[in-house]
Amino acid sequence: MTTRRGTLLCAVALLWGCTTPAAPPAGQPIRTEVRLAPIVPDDADVAAADAAAAALVGDVEGTARAAATIEAFDDARPEGPTGLEPAARDLLNAVASPGRAYHDASLELLDRPDLDPALRERIERANEADPLEIADARVREARFSSFAKLFNTIAEPIGQSILATALAPIRIARSTLRYGIDLYKADPLPVRRRQALAHWKKFLARYPDDPRHAEVKARAAEAQRRWSRTRLARTLRDAERALDQGQPREALVLADRAMRHAPEAGEKRAERVRNEAAERIHVIRRDQRESLRFALPPGHRLTPPQSRGLALALFDPRTDLERAVHAVPPGGELASEAPFVEAVGLGSTNPDAAWNELRRIAEGDGDRDNMVRHAQALLADPVRNPYDTFVEARTRDRRARTAWVFLGPAAYAERSFSLVGVLEGVLGLPSIIQSIVTLPLRVIQFPWMPPPATAKATAVQARRVLALETRGERADTVRDWLEDYERDRRNFVGALRVAESRPGVEPGDLQDLREQAARQALQVAIQEERRDMRQALLMGVTRKFPKTEAGDEAGRLARKEIEERTPHEIVLTRGFLEENPEVAGIRGLALDPALLDDDAYDSELHPDGVALIGGRVIEIRTIAAGGDEDDDPERTYVTVSEERFALIVARLEETSFRNALLDEDDPVVPDAGRDLVFERAKLGLADDVDSRATAEASFSYRGMSERYGVVRRREPVLPFDIVVRGSLADLSLGAFPRLREPKLTPDAMLYE
C-alpha cells in the first residue's frame, strides 16, 4: 500500500512538473525552454469546434445545436461559465441572419454583461459600419453643424460687447450678414450630406429587399439633385475663374462639363462662359497661324541673298551679322525681321544690348508685325530671359511683404466686384482699420519675417540666372539675394552652396556657415529611418564637412552604426511589455519576472526593452551597472528554438490586433518589413536571413503611456467651449459659449 501511494505521489509530482514552468537559471534573463501541459478539450471545446464547422458550411441547425450544448454546459458548470456562449450566439446570428438581419440580431447580444470586450468592440464596429447607420450619423452631424454656425453667429457678438454695449447691434448685424453671405456661398449639398448620399446608394445596392428601401431611395434622389446643383455651381465658378486668369481652354472644358451636370439650370450662364472662351481661343489660334504662316504678296519675289544672309546670321555664328542686317533695305519685306535677327545674334556677345533691342521691338504693334509677338514671347520666357523674370518676381515679393506690413492679413484677401464681393469688402473694413492700428507691431516683426510663399518662384529664377551667368554685377546681385533667401528659411546647406560659387571666395571666410550647414546635414541624416541610408548620409556629412564638429560627430555615429548593425531591429520597449504581460509572460517571451519588478537590487530591463535582431536571436537590454536609464544598456543575446520563436511572433501579433480592437488610439501600424520577418518566422524560415539593406525590418512596439503620457487627451463631453476674448483695437471684451462642430471623418477628403 505504501509503495502504491509513493508511486502515486511521484506521478502527481511529475505531472505538476509538466504543467508548471521551472524558474530560469541564475543569470539567465529568458526561459529558453518552456514546457506547458497540453490542454484536454472538454464538452464545451468540442461543441465550439462543432459550431465552427457547421457555420463554415452554412448549417444553421448544426450551429444552433452546438450553441445550445455550450449554453447547457455553462449552466451546469460549477466554476462558472466558460465565456464561449456569447461567441457561439454571435456565430449563430451570422449564419441564421444573413444580410442586414445580422445588424438587428446583434443588438440583443450587446445587452449581455458577460460579453468579451474584444467581441463587444467587434460587434459595435460592425454595426457602426452599416451604411444606413453611417448615413444617419452624417446627417445628424450636418444638422448640428448648421445649428452650431447659427448659434455662434449670435452668441459671439453678444458676448464680446460687455465694454461697448452700444456696439452690440452693429456687431450682431455684421455677424448675421456674414452668416448670410457664407450661407449663400455654401454648396447646396455639403460634405457630410455627400457622405450620406454615398452610403444611401450603398444601402440601396446591398439590400434591395429591405423594408426601408423606398424611403431611402427618395432621400437619395433628393440628395442627388442637390449634388447635381453643387457640381454645377462649383464647375461654373471654376470656369469663370479660369476665364479671368486667361485660361480660355480650361474655361471651355469646364463650361461644357457644367452643362452636362445640369443643362436646364446652368444653360444661360454656362453658355455665356463657353462663348467667350471659344472666342478667345479663336483669337489665340488666329495669332498662332499668323505667326507661323509666311506668304509673299502676289507677284512679289523675295531676293535670295537677303533671306539667305538673315538665315545664316541666325544659325551660323561665323556669318557677318552686321553685314547681313544692313543688306536688308528699309521698308522692305524683311524690315521687321532684320532687327529681330540682329538682337538674337547679339545674345552671345552682348546680352544687355540684345535684350534692350528686344524690348524696343516688343513695344510695337503685335497685330501688324509678327516679330513684335516673337520678341514679347522671348521676353516673357522665364527660361530664355531668367534675369528679367527674377527682377519681376523679386518686385512682386517686395510688394507682397510691404502690403502685409501696412494691411496685415487683409492684404491677401481676394477681391471681387460682385454683390457678394462688395458686401464682403464692407464687412472687412473693421479688420482693415484694426490692421492699420497694429501697424507698429508688424514693423517690429518685419526683419524676422520668413520669406513669403511666392519667393520660391523667385529662387528658381535666381538659380537659372546663376546657371547662365557666374560673374558680373547681375550675377552678384542675384547671388546675394539667393544666399539671404536660403539663410532666412534656415537652409544653410543651400546658402553654403551659393556662397561657395562666389568668385574669389576664401574657404576660411565661410567657416561659420559651414558649421551651420554641417549641423543641418547631420540632423537630416539622424532622422533617416533606413539604416543603410542613414549610414550613407552620415558618411557623406563626414566627407563633405571635414574639420567641423558636426562632421566629427557624424563620423562617430557612422562607426557606431557599422559596429551595432544587425539584420533586423524589431523593438519591444519596456513600457509595451509592462502593459502587455501576455507578451512578456510564459506564453510569450518568458522573461525573468525580476527584469520587470522595478527592483534596483537585481537586473532591471532598460526602457529600450527587447529586440528581435535577426534569425532566432533575441537581444535583452538591461540597465547598466550605474543604474542610469539614460546610459547605453547592457546587451544579452539569447537564441530560442524555431517553435518558440514562432510562438513569440504569434503572441505579439495577436496582442497587437486585440489592442487595436479595444483601443482606437492603438492601431495596427502597417510595416512590410516587419510582416515579412514574422511570416518567415511562422513558417520556420527565421534562420534564412536576408542580409540586404533593403530587406531590413525596423519597427518599435511602444506602450500607450510612452506615446501619450500618463493621461491621454480625450474629447470633452460637453459640445461647447467657453471663449474669453478681448481686444483694445475694437474695444471688445467678453466671454461667450461656442458650439463645436463635429470633426470631419478621415475619408471626408474623398467627397470634396
Q: Which amino acid is at 114?
A: D
- C-alpha cell at position 195: 457622405
Show contacts of 217-226: CB within 8 Å, 24+ apart. Answer: 223/189, 223/193, 223/194, 223/196, 223/197, 224/197, 226/188, 226/189, 226/193
pLDDT value of residue 36: 67
What SS3 state is found at 332? coil
pLDDT value of residue 24: 47
Angle (CA) 282 287 288, round 5°: 95
Confidence of residue 649 (pLDDT cuts 50, 70, 90): very high
Percentages of the chain per state (helix, strand, coil), in multiples of 5: 65, 5, 30
The DSSP output letter for 203 is H
Tens of pLDDT along 288-323? Answer: 877 776 565 565 555 545 566 666 666 655 556 666
Higher-pLDDT residue of 469 and 438 is 469
Among 208-222, 280-294, 389-403, which stretch is predicted with the lowest mean pLDDT?
280-294
Task: Name every residue whose Cβ is closer than 8 Å to that of residue 178 and which is 6 or more positions away in sequence.
Answer: 153, 427
Q: Is the pTM of this model over 0.75?
A: no
pLDDT value of residue 18: 39
Confidence of residue 25 (pLDDT cuts 50, 70, 90): very low
pLDDT value of residue 37: 67
The answer to whether residues 228 and 182 touch, using CB atoms and an 8 Å cutoff, is no
End-to-end CA distance of the chain: give it in Å, rounded: 86
The answer to whether residues 733 and 163 touch, using CB atoms and an 8 Å cutoff, is yes
CA distance 70 to 48: 7
Q: Longest C-alpha distance within the chain, in Å? A: 140
Higher-pLDDT residue of 610 and 403 is 610
Is pLDDT at 570 greater than 80 in this prediction?
Answer: yes
pLDDT value of residue 531: 80
Is pLDDT at 497 greater than 60 in this prediction?
Answer: yes
CA distance 562 to 376: 59
Is pLDDT at 476 greater than 60 in this prediction?
Answer: yes
Task: Name every residue whose Cβ is closer than 8 Å to that of residue 638 and which is 6 or more positions away in sequence.
Answer: 28, 29, 30, 32, 617, 618, 620
Highest-confidence segment of 352-361, 409-418, 616-625, 724-733? 616-625
pLDDT value of residue 689: 85
Is pLDDT at 163 greater than 80 in this prediction?
Answer: no
Tens of pLDDT along 729-744? Answer: 455 567 778 888 888 8
Q: Which amino acid is at 710?
A: V
The answer to whether residues 462 and 389 touch, using CB atoms and an 8 Å cutoff, is no
Confidence of residue 111 (pLDDT cuts 50, 70, 90): confident
Higher-pLDDT residue of 687 and 336 is 687
The answer to whether residues 274 and 255 touch, using CB atoms and an 8 Å cutoff, is yes
Mean pLDDT of 23-41: 65
- β-partners of residue 698 are 569
What SS3 state is found at 725? strand
Q: What is the mean pLDDT of the chain?
A: 80
Confidence of residue 583 (pLDDT cuts 50, 70, 90): very high
Tell me the HSE value of 128 on the side-chain side, using a 13 A CA sphere.
8
The answer to whether residues 400 and 407 touch, using CB atoms and an 8 Å cutoff, is no
Mean pLDDT of 682-711: 85
pLDDT value of residue 631: 85
Rg (CA), the chain: 38
Confidence of residue 726 (pLDDT cuts 50, 70, 90): low
Closest CA to 193 of 225, 153, 227: 227
Mean pLDDT of 684-694: 84
- β-partners of residue 727 are 732
Mean pLDDT of 509-516: 87
Confidence of residue 515 (pLDDT cuts 50, 70, 90): very high
Mean pLDDT of 457-480: 87
pLDDT value of residue 14: 30
Angle (CA) 682 683 688, round 5°: 105
The DSSP output letter for 596 is G
Tens of pLDDT along 330-383? Answer: 666 666 777 777 777 766 677 778 888 888 888 887 667 777 888 888 888 888
Among 77-81, 111-115, 294-298, 540-544, which stretch is predicted with the lowest mean pLDDT?
294-298
Closest CA to 44 of 79, 62, 70, 66: 70
